[in-house]
Amino acid sequence: MKHILFLIVGYLTGSIPFAYIAGKLKGKDLTKEGSGNLGTSNVFHEVGKIAGVTVFFADCAKIGLLLLAMRLAGAGMWEESLAAVGVIAGHNWSIFTRFKGGRGMTVTLIGSGILMPWETLIILGILGFGFFTRTLALYSGVSLLTWPVLAAIHGQHFSRIFFALAALALGVLRRLQGSPGLEKRPFAVSKKELVINRLLFDREPPAKSEFP
């Protein structure tokens, strides 16, 4: 029961929808504008750069402060890992926004930085390569696959391997879900191509109406 409690606390903390709040302060419902995702990128595009930066650091803080507070309070490794998984799930499917949310990479990265700092340095290298080659979405997926492998190779506690596997599973589910703001869009590709596009590139293909 204690472990489940930490998972719930993490989920409720992760559910705090800073992106949604930022949009509402500007009179916008970001679940219905842009990509429909409640993440930093959609805030940047639909609200503004300052709001985007603010939301980015707020999302970092909600998992970072929770895990640091737990560590100071003497929480165990399983409690930390379960709380971190809960934050990712809450961020991706917030209870306060009808289970809509962001992509989860920011909170996953910050959580990993606290739980598995050395592995996270390698992940940052992978993400950096993706950023400079303009293939960040692809290498974000590579990072998700790499996390549990690194945790196992480095002999991490099983709770950390669980965290990495859960982050992978949640990341894949979120990619498969696609962009909520485009969920009724008539895609110009087959179901199989749509799934592959979402898994590899984490974005939606063109709609039929966008073709000449």
At residue 191, the pLDDT reads 74
Closest C-alpha to 62, from 40, 90, 31: 90
Report which of residues 36 and 112 the model is more confident about. Answer: 112
Read off the pLDDT of each residue in 131-151 and give the average, rounded to a whole number: 91
Instruction: Reply yes or no on whether the pLDDT at 196 is more than 80.
Output: no
CA-CA distance, 49 to 67, in Å (whole number)? 28
Confidence of residue 137 (pLDDT cuts 50, 70, 90): confident
Taking the model in full, what pTM does it have? 0.89
Residue 201 scores a pLDDT above 90:
no
Where do the domains of the chain lie?
A: 2-210
Q: What is the pLDDT of residue 20?
A: 94
In the 3-class helix/strand/coil scheme, how is the chain assigned residue by residue?
CHHHHHHHHHHHHHCCCHHHHHHHHCCCCCCCCCCCCCCHHHHHHHCCHHHHHHHHHHHHHHHHHHHHHHHHCCCCHHHHHHHHHHHHHHHHCEHHHCCECCCCHHHHHHHHHHHCHHHHHHHHHHHHHHHHCCCHHHHHHHHHHHHHHHHHHCCCCHHHHHHHHHHHHHHHHHHHHCCHHHCCCCECCCHHHHHHHHHHHCCCCCEHHHCC
pLDDT tens digits, 80-127: 999 999 999 999 999 999 899 998 999 999 999 999 999 999 999 999
pLDDT in tens, 39-91: 898 999 999 999 999 999 999 999 999 999 999 999 899 999 999 999 999 99
Give the pLDDT confidence score for residue 203 in this predicted structure: 74
**Nearest residue to 116 via CA among 75, 162, 62, 70:** 162
Average pLDDT for 30-43: 87
Query: What pLDDT, on the 0 to 100 scale, is given for residue 184?
Result: 59
